[in-house]
Amino acid sequence: MKWQGRRGSGNIEDRRGLKAAGGGLGLGAIVLFLASLFFPDAVPLLRMVGVGQPGAPSQQQVAPGQVDPNDSAAQFISVTLADTEEVWTEIFREDLGAAYIKPTLVLFSGETTSGCGAAEASSGPFYCPADRKVYLDLDFFRTLERQLGAGGQFAQAYVVAHEVAHHVQNLTGAVRRVDQVRSAGNRLQTNQATVRLELQADCYAGVWANRAHEKFGSLTSQDLSEALNAAAKIGDDALQSRSGRVRPESFTHGTSEQRQRWLTIGLRGGDIRQSDTFSPDYNDL
């Protein structure tokens, strides 16, 4: 992935090295469902299993800014975030007739706090609608590569773009729509709505990649292979099969095939109008 030499984002909080006062999460975070253990990005899923509730311990806050230019891993995330800012600002202006509100990305190590409660590295990257921030422990990428076989820089960029996509969904009302389904108390319908939310975020990540490549010429065929491989590795069926039992009724992110398909729709078209996974036309997704 070609990213060196482009601007980094000024909307990063680097909390690495800081400790949350009062400890981290309880055992509930450790026993999250296998799919959410490796990729539980949507806060609605965390709320559904009782993680990330109000009353989290406090932590010293860090003013958003630039990351250390000598920290290549953080610098890559910073440039990727900046790319999402440019692309989504353009899409909101040209396609939605609205102003894009940029999210903040929080880098942390081990544990931190958010507007949605406490979070640990074991709960993976996630977006918090309450404070409009993406939370990421860079060690997650080692898990992604070593345990799931989804390595490469563009696989990492896909993770960031997917989380930013949840921010886009928060701005457009899709997150609220799923919260309304959840409030009805039907677990199966909630899972199905969450799958639609996640697949739309995958499609949005593909839209970002398409538009970013047009602007910066940043992608290669290898990058696309990395992204599709990552999407396959983190499908609910693929993750559940690692535990020996696949339960489709419990899916919350979509199958490997679904995640690859919706990512590809975004990659090929670069058009958010093709990303309506909530449409009745896609009852079978």
Residue 200 and residue 266: Cα distance in Å, rounded?
A: 9
- The sheet carrying 104-107 orders its strands as 12-14, 104-107, 133-136, 126-128
Tell me the two tokens of residue 280.
């009745």
Handedness of CA 253, 257, 260, 264 (dihedral sign): negative
Q: In one letter, which amino acid is 5?
A: G
Tell me the two tokens of residue 273.
């109008």
Over the stretch 60-94, which tens digit does the pLDDT of each residue have?
A: 567 777 777 888 899 999 999 999 999 999 999 99
Q: Largest Cα–Cα distance of the chain, in whole Å?
A: 49
CB neighbour burial string for 35-45, b if at least 16 within 10 angstroms, e if fewer = bbbbbbbbbbb
Give me the pLDDT at residue 19, please: 61
Q: Tell me the mean pLDDT per 10 residues along the chain, length 285.
A: 79 82 38 39 38 43 75 92 96 96 94 88 86 93 81 87 96 94 90 93 95 86 82 83 83 90 93 90 64
**Full-model pTM:** 0.83
CB 277 within 8 A of CB 196: yes
Q: φ, ψ for residue 133 (rounded to 5)?
A: -130, 145
Residue 284 and residue 82: Cα distance in Å, rounded?
A: 35
**Cα–Cα distances in angstroms (integers) from residue 100 to residues 92, 168, 177, in the given order:** 6, 8, 20
CB 156 within 8 A of CB 133: no
Residue 213 and residue 267: Cα distance in Å, rounded?
A: 10
Over the stretch 241-254, which tens digit does the pLDDT of each residue have?
A: 887 788 888 888 99
